[in-house]
Structure 1
Amino acid sequence: MDVKRGLGMEPIHRKTTKEMVYEQLKKAILVRELSHKEIFTETMLANSLNTSRTPVREAVADLINEGLMVHIPRKGFKVREITEKEMDQIIFLRTSIEVQGIKILSDIITEEEVRQLYKIVERQEKVIASNDSIKFIELDQLFHRKILQFAGQELLEQFLSELYNMARLMGHTALMKEGRITEVIQEHLDIVKALESKDGELAIKVMENHLLSTVDSVRNFTD
């Protein structure tokens, strides 16, 4: 017997310095502790985090690839700023992609896939108690990506991942506002219930309402 699998345990994972730096920087970006108006250097961040420049360089490279930071030639790098025009495009693309995914999935979803979606929502409910905003958002992204995966829309899933990172720059703080978290949980449950009943029209409606509510919370926060 495979002891590790048989006991249902996961191997211990010790985080590297680069991983810890990445998590610190990502959280600082999403909760807006790092201003998009300021240009940073590896040395500045290394000194602030009390580490060497190498893990900072590696972490920043990952954040640039995710679309959360941008490189400024001969100066350093900064947090990416999302313009009003870009925001409109992100909203349009996300809505188009996710409605297409849920339209397809509502006809073919399996009981196991429904169970997995419910499990993600349960995990979101648990992390609320620990006030882990980064984990909550990661699970939110996982929920939406799974819908496209289950629908067999792998290319759309890739596009959504890129859009999601940019959307987080707009709406992470707004999403974590008191009251909105509870709404997100309920909206996710409504989406799963509609899929479980294989009611395509209802599934599309609740997904559209969910995305619209998210957009409204972001716009109200940034106004």
Structure 2
Amino acid sequence: MSISLNVNPIKPQTTKEIVYDEIKNAIFNGNIKKDEIITEMILAHSLNISRTPVREAVGDLLKDGLLVAVPRKGLKVREITPSEKDQIIFLRVSIETEGLRRVIPSITANQIQFLKEVIEQQKKAMEKNDRIKFIELDQKFHRKILYFAEQHLLEDILLNLYNLTRLIGHKALAKNGRMEEVLEEHLRIVEALELKDVKQATELMEEHLVQTKESIDIVEGK
């Protein structure tokens, strides 16, 4: 008897996808320094692989804004300028506080529980010092609020900022104790959602996002 389930088959990663993930993780972990010039040849040698998948992966990383080309030299990790950092925080505060205003009247107990489970997964990632997983879950937490609010255009805008916000997030986590602070800030936002307190929830979200910027300033000695 054949049973057909409405699920998507698991596709094995291509070599290009594996290379893409390896380079991306090296960027986010700080293993490629911001002032370091790299080339496809250097990457291929480091990964012990041919240049073809490296070239394809680099093309995607350039398109995603994680790498930038340095004329006649090679490639380097994208740096977020102070102006860009301010713009990203401004957009996120505007988008995510609106998401909270929209979601509070209709948020369900199941949705609250989902957000709590994401925070619990973040705690486990913190205990393993897995910054990449922690940031992935952080983005999941924020995007789900917009999804629950059915603010899909705003969610798409946040998704377009995804890689830039990850670069910011990883830099912020370099501040000692920032992971613990993020968990506490997320929990307080969820508590305000449970109370359906729009004023408190939006103020906490703004404080949370501004604190990310301030954490980066501390790390950068500003």
TM-score, normalised by the number of residues in structure 1: 0.86
The residue type paired with residue 57 of structure 1 is R
- Pair 1:46–1:4, CA change in 2 (3 A): farther
Q: Please give the secondary structure, in 1, of the residue aligned with 2:161.
A: helix
Distance in structure 2 (CA, Å) of the matches to 1:54 and 1:145? 34
Which shifted more, 143-152 or 38-47?
Answer: 38-47
- Pair 1:210–1:4, CA change in 2 (3 A): farther
Distance in structure 2 (CA, Å) of the matches to 1:149 and 1:2? 35
Structure that is richer in helix per residue = 1
Contact 1:67 1:162 in 2 (8 A): no
What's 1:119 paired with? Answer: 117
Contact 2:35 2:76 in 1 (8 A): yes
- Pair 1:82–1:17, CA change in 2 (3 A): same
The residue type paired with residue 216 of structure 2 is V
| Cα displacement (A) at 1:57 | 2.3
Distance in structure 2 (CA, Å) of the matches to 1:2 and 1:158? 38
Cα deviation per residue 1:88-131 (whole Å; 9 max; x = unaligned)? 11111111111111111111212221121111111111112222
Q: Please give the secondary structure, in 1, of the residue aligned with 2:104.
A: helix
| Cα displacement (A) at 1:185 | 0.7
What's 2:137 paired with? Answer: 139
The residue type paired with residue 23 of structure 1 is D
What's 2:16 paired with? Answer: 18
Which shifted more, 150-159 or 23-32?
Answer: 23-32
Distance in structure 2 (CA, Å) of the matches to 1:81 and 1:168? 12
What's 1:214 paired with? Answer: 212
Distance in structure 2 (CA, Å) of the matches to 1:221 and 1:177? 6
Contact 1:103 1:204 in 2 (8 A): yes
What's 1:77 paired with? Answer: 75
The answer for unaligned runs of 5 or more in structure 1 is none
TM-score, normalised by the number of residues in structure 2: 0.87
- Pair 1:112–1:171, CA change in 2 (3 A): closer
The residue type paired with residue 131 of structure 2 is S
| Cα displacement (A) at 1:40 | 2.7
- Pair 1:108–1:65, CA change in 2 (3 A): farther
What's 2:66 paired with? Answer: 68
| Cα displacement (A) at 1:144 | 0.6
The answer for unaligned runs of 5 or more in structure 2 is none
Which shifted more, 13-22 or 107-116?
Answer: 13-22
Contact 2:175 2:218 in 1 (8 A): no
RMSD value over aligned CA atoms? 2.5
82, 85, 88: which one pairs with 1:87?
A: 85
Cα deviation per residue 1:48-69 (whole Å; 9 max; x = unaligned)? 1111122222322332233211
Distance in structure 2 (CA, Å) of the matches to 1:221 and 1:171? 12
Contact 2:175 2:219 in 1 (8 A): no
What's 2:192 paired with? Answer: 194
Distance in structure 2 (CA, Å) of the matches to 1:127 and 1:167? 19
What's 1:107 paired with? Answer: 105
| Cα displacement (A) at 1:15 | 4.4
| Cα displacement (A) at 1:86 | 1.3
What's 2:177 paired with? Answer: 179
Distance in structure 2 (CA, Å) of the matches to 1:77 and 1:218? 24
What count of residue pairs does the alignment treat as equivalent? 219
| Cα displacement (A) at 1:45 | 0.6
Distance in structure 2 (CA, Å) of the matches to 1:127 and 1:140? 11
